[in-house]
Amino acid sequence: MDWIEQAIFTSAETDRTSGYQVVAASPGIREDDVRELAAWGPSHGALLDSDAGGSSLNAHPLPSGGHCVSRTTPAGWEYSGRGGARVYTHCLVVPPQILARFANNPFALWRAVVANGSVHVYQEIPRRLEPVRLPGRAAAVDTALLAQLCANPGPQWMATLVQAALDSVTLAIIGGPPAENVIAGLVNCLPPGCRTEFSFSTGLKFSSRRPFRVVALSADRNEQRRVERLYNVAVLALSGDPPVGFAPVESWPRLILRALRSGRLSFLESRMAIHSGEISLHELPAFGLQMLEELDASALNDDPSDQIAVVAEEKTEGLRIVAEADLQGDDADDAAGAVGGDDAADEGPPMIAPAPQTQASRRWTVAHGPQRRKSAAPATRRRCTPPPCEHLDLGDRAVLEKLERLDDLVFDSIAGKAAALEQLKELWPQLCEELEDPLLAESREHYLRHALSAWGQHGKPDGVRDPNAAVQLLEVLCTLFQ
Amino acid sequence: MSRDMIVPLESYRLARYVVPIPCYVCGEDNIFDAEYCRHCLAPMALAHQAASQKVQPRMVAAVGATAVGKTVFLGMLIDMLSRQPERVQLMARGAFSITLQQSTMAALARCQFPQKTPNEPDRWNWVHCELRRSRREVPLDLIVPDMAGEAIFEEVEHPRSYRVITAYLKKCAGAMILVDAVGLQEASSDHEYFAMKLISYLVELNEEGKPGWSRRPVALIFTKADQCEECLADPGAFAKSHASRLWQLCQERFAFHRFFASGVAGACAWRQTRRDGRVHMPLRVEPVGIVEPFLWLLERIETRRSRSK
């Protein structure tokens, strides 16, 4: 069995120096890891809540390849007599294979360590600490926690948080349920293989010296404004409606939204358990699409009548497409939830509180009533209106070739080829004359999605984006939408 | 979807991000609206302020071990200079430059020492001020940060672990090295060793085209001298007798250095409080030797500046 090394970072007077330092460590910790612990270690006044009950759970990677999972608490007084609480951080240096046993979930690992009786707040800090052995494992998803978060802040907010976490270099969260729950929920909403990419702290003041990817912010408006002004930090206040800028548009956040909305937590858990550790952040979009298909397929297999309900709701919305509904707030899923759509077939535990009934679902209940569910014919779930491609005369090779040419030009233009953009500017007006409006609209929608996706993948690891690429993208979109 | 949709093109906004603003401390490029340098975490306000004036600000460092009294010394120094226009007229540049003075004086007024400076550079107080002696026409702009002792220690032990300290000390025109006089009197060698490490670190720091630290003025200031009369009477002799290794190193390494003694609290006591535990508190405020080392340093910097012209 592998060992977990441990260290304590706090303020004390030692033989080496005085003040905040790594005051004790078990012998197996590498020197570069110790220095990293000192760099990330929170010092005086770093806790958001410095009262006795305040604490922060933190996790970040280490140079050795392991991960630091730490708990910061106030512990006694500053040794130098300058007032204020002493900030005490107990760090565990966790090898990747042990963290993987706990589904790469630092919260689950910390709970296990506490249950094991392996961590203490030492009043007299020992000169030497011993490594910890930690048996056991954890489930891929904490369904109880997710069910709790479905009630507050709700599935839409959780999906928005996932989208924001994926999009942002740093995500700062204000308000809502306790930050530890929200961030633990966010971790649970990610596949285990991706979780180690998301360093976090649940109760430390933000500092660029500790570049956690997900942080909680206090209610202090000055502190919030300071962080809002920082570059590459997205600030989300968990109150009111989720911001449109982080609407769940990518496949994984959409999956989370639909799974949480429909209460299909055990679907999420089972699939994450199967693919535990396999999926990296890079592969997440493709995995998300695959999971969405699996979610649809399992819903179809479970209860075909549920699809009727969805279709009935969709028809009330006219030309709307369910995929679009996902983008705009998942009204369709709400409707399905209200009438026992694909939620009804769910094998997962019931949610503590169901998602609120939206206008769309109310509309369905009033206008059509549940009796329509039996009478409507099963149909494809994705589209309720004749797909735009039906406007095409498939025998018209010339049109198909033009569309293929259009695809090539748009993709090349988005990729930055100036010549392709020039040709697109000539071809697009011609196609606008020749093609039906629905087909044009669908084409625009797909190209817009591709442009957003390309922009999302364009950022460098430090979040810096090339303005030339932005201008090129804007030009392509302007051409297509004018 | 309507073909008549109007898409406002605001790409001109992106152009503002294309022009980088170099950090005044480390020189690395930042975007125009960054508050802190993303490389060293120094406030970008310094770069914006420096860009708006002809004469580039000079930097002076106040360094020393943790709990040596850097914050109290700097806060009191700024406060005294801003009250004594007949000696040197000090005017803060930017609201952030007043925070250190404000927090220090507020704490002393409550019979408390200011709280410990956090390790994180983006939580340090920076002072950018304009100094004008009555007889001089051209004012001197100075930048002084209140750095955490632990951060200085880490940087000395593991160079470049704090980029802001490395970059700042490379550019500094002079330094005030603070040493705890009480510790030396009690024969604790830790303070002396730390000061020696710091000096060795400085001497090894060289920036191309600039004279090394051996030619830059350094004021060695014994703090808490109010509790050590011997130090107050003759700081040089105190250094020779209580920190002989440090004294010797300074003789060898620095062409322009001088020992000073300073104190802020006339007397101190310990107080047990429910909220903050055992707290060291100043009973009265009697600043001594605060302005002198700074004025000496300023004089040396001015002399060097006029010679280089």
Q: If pLDDT is split at 50, 70 and 90, which confidence band does B121 have?
A: very high
Q: Are residues B208 and B245 in the same domain?
A: yes
**Does A138 fall in a domain?**
no
For residue A368, give the amino acid letter.
H
Range of the domain at A263: 143-280
Query: How many independent structural domains does chain B possess?
Result: 2
Instruction: Give the residue among A266, A104, A235 at the shortest CA–CA distance from A171.
Output: A235
Task: Quick: pLDDT tens for A435-460.
Answer: 877 778 878 887 887 787 777 766 65
A370 CB near a chain B CB, below 8 Å? no
Query: B85 near B133, Cβ under 8 Å?
Result: no
More confident residue, B175 or A227: B175
In a shared domain, residues B107 and B231: yes
Which of A21, A38, A80 has the CB atom closest to B116's CB atom? A80
Please check whether residues A26 and A88 belong to one and the same domain: yes
Tell me, yes or no, if A222 comes closer than 8 A to chain B by beta carbon.
no
User: String of b and e for A48-75 (b: at least 16 CB within 10 Å)?
Assistant: bebeeeebbbbbbebebebbbbbbbbbb
Chain B residues near residue A432 by CB distance under 8 angstroms: 3
Q: Are residues A270 and A162 in the same domain?
A: yes
Residue A383 lies in a domain: no
- Residues A193 and A213: their CA atoms lie apart, in Å, by 16
Report the pLDDT value the prediction gives residue A462, as an integer from 0 to 100: 60
Quick one: pLDDT at residue A329?
Answer: 40
Last residue of a domain, one of A280, A308, A335: A280
Q: Which pLDDT band, with edges at 50, 70 and 90, does A468 fall under?
A: confident
Residue B245 and residue B194: Cα distance in Å, rounded? 11
Q: Report the distance separating Cα B41 and Cα B45, nearest Å.
A: 11
Q: What is the pLDDT of residue B308?
A: 67
A432–B contact, CB cutoff 8 A: yes
CA A396, CA A444: separation in Å to the nearest integer?
21
Mean pLDDT on B140-163 = 93
Rounded to the nearest angstrom, the minimum Cα separation between A264 and chain B is 35
Confidence of residue A351 (pLDDT cuts 50, 70, 90): very low
Q: Which residue has the tokens 């699409």?
A: A289
Place of tokens 């049109």: A399
Work out the average pLDDT over A124-152: 91
Q: Are A191 and A284 in contact (CB under 8 A)?
A: yes
3-class DSSP state for residue A48?
coil
B87, B120: one domain:
yes
| Residue A275 and residue A153 share a domain | yes
- Does the reported pTM lie above 0.90? no
Identify whether residues A26 and A128 lie together within a single domain.
yes
Look at chain A and count its residues: 482
The verdict on B200 and B80 lying in the same domain is yes
d(CA B220, CA B213): 14
**Amino acid identity at A420:** A
Residue A350, phi-psi category: left (phi > 0), alpha (psi -120 to 50), beta (remainder): beta
Task: Give the three-state DSSP class for A392.
Answer: coil
% of chain B beyond a pLDDT of 70: 93
Q: At B282, is the pLDDT very low, low, confident or very high (cuts 50, 70, 90)? A: very high
Q: Contact at 8 Å (CB) between A482 and B7?
A: yes
| Residue A185 falls inside a structural domain | yes
For residue A123, what pLDDT band results from cuts at 50, 70 and 90? confident
In a domain, B6, yes or no: no
Identify whether B290 is part of a domain: yes
Q: Specify the pLDDT at position A396.
A: 66
A169-203 exposure pattern, b = at least 16 Cβ within 10 A, e = fewer: bbbbbbbbeebbbbbbbbbbbbbbbbbbbbbbbbb
Q: If you write DSSP's letter for every residue of A325-390 in order, what string do you get?
A: HHHTT-HHHHHHHHTTSTTTT--SPPPSSPPPP-HHHHHHHHHT-TTHHHHSPP--SSBSSPPGGG
User: Chain A partners of B113 at a C-beta cutoff of 8 Å?
Assistant: 82-83
Cα→Cα distances A373→A309, A339, A357, Å: 5, 9, 18
Cβ pair A209:B122 closer than 8 A: yes
Chain B positions touching A205 (Cβ under 8 A) are 123
Residues of B whose CB is below 8 A from A478: 7, 9
Q: Mean pLDDT over all residues of chain A?
A: 79
Task: Classify residue B9: in a domain, yes or no.
Answer: no
Query: How confident is the model at residue B73, as a pLDDT?
Result: 96
Q: Is residue B300 part of a domain?
A: yes
| pLDDT tens-digit series, residues B5-55 | 666 666 666 777 778 899 999 999 998 888 899 899 999 999 998 888 878
B36 plus B79 within the same structural domain? no
pLDDT above 50 (res A380): no
- Lowest mean pLDDT: which of A242-256, A306-320, B71-85, B220-234? A306-320
Does residue A368 share a domain with residue A402?
no
Alpha-carbon gap: A232 to the closest alpha carbon of chain B (Å): 10
A256 within domain boundaries: yes
How far is residue A238's CA from residue B160's CA, in Å, rounded to a whole number?
39
Which residues in chain B touch residue A11, judged by CB atoms under 8 angstroms apart? Answer: 116
| B163 and B238 inside one domain | yes
Helix, strand, or coil here: B113? Answer: coil
Q: Of the residues A98, A113, A133, which one is the last residue of a structural domain?
A: A133
Whether A401 is covered by a domain: the verdict is yes
Q: Tell whether A378 is within 8 A of chain B (Cβ).
A: no
Q: Are residues A350 and A243 in the same domain?
A: no
What is the pLDDT, as a whole number, of residue B13?
Answer: 65
* Residue, of A338 and A35, whose pLDDT is higher: A35
Residue B95 lies in a domain: yes
Domain of B101, in residue numbers: 53-308
Instruction: Give chain B positions within 8 Å (CB) of A39.
Output: 154, 161
Q: Of the candidates A375, A405, A435, which is a domain's last residue?
A: A375
Average pLDDT over residues B171-199: 92
- Provide the domain count of chain A: 4
**Domain-embedded: residue B173:** yes
* Mean pLDDT along residues A93-100: 95
Q: How far apart are CA A323 and CA A343, in angstroms?
A: 17
Stronger pLDDT, B147 or A353, i.e. the higher one: B147
> What is the reported pLDDT for A458?
66
**Percentage of residues in chain A having pLDDT higher than 90:** 43
Cβ within 8 Å, pair B190-A441: no
- Residues on chain B touching A78 (C-beta within 8 angstroms): 116, 276-277
Q: Is-contact B164 B41, C-beta < 8 A? A: yes
Q: State the smallest CA–CA distance between residue A442 and chain B in angstroms.
A: 10
Q: Do B94 and B28 fall within a single domain?
A: no
A423 shares a domain with A312: no
For A89, the token pair is 């951080």
Interface ipTM: 0.84
User: Same structural domain for residues B171 and B132?
Assistant: yes
Whether residue A27 lies inside any domain: the answer is yes
- DSSP secondary-structure letter at B121? G
How near does any CA of chain B get to the CA of A203, in Å?
Answer: 16
Give the whole-angstrom CA distance, residue B170 versus residue A311. 70
pLDDT of B72 above 80: yes
Q: Please, which residues 26-85 of chain A have a Cβ atom closer than 8 Å to chain B? A: 35, 38-39, 41, 43-46, 76-78, 80-84
More confident residue, A58 or A351: A58
The answer to whether residue A179 is domain-embedded is yes
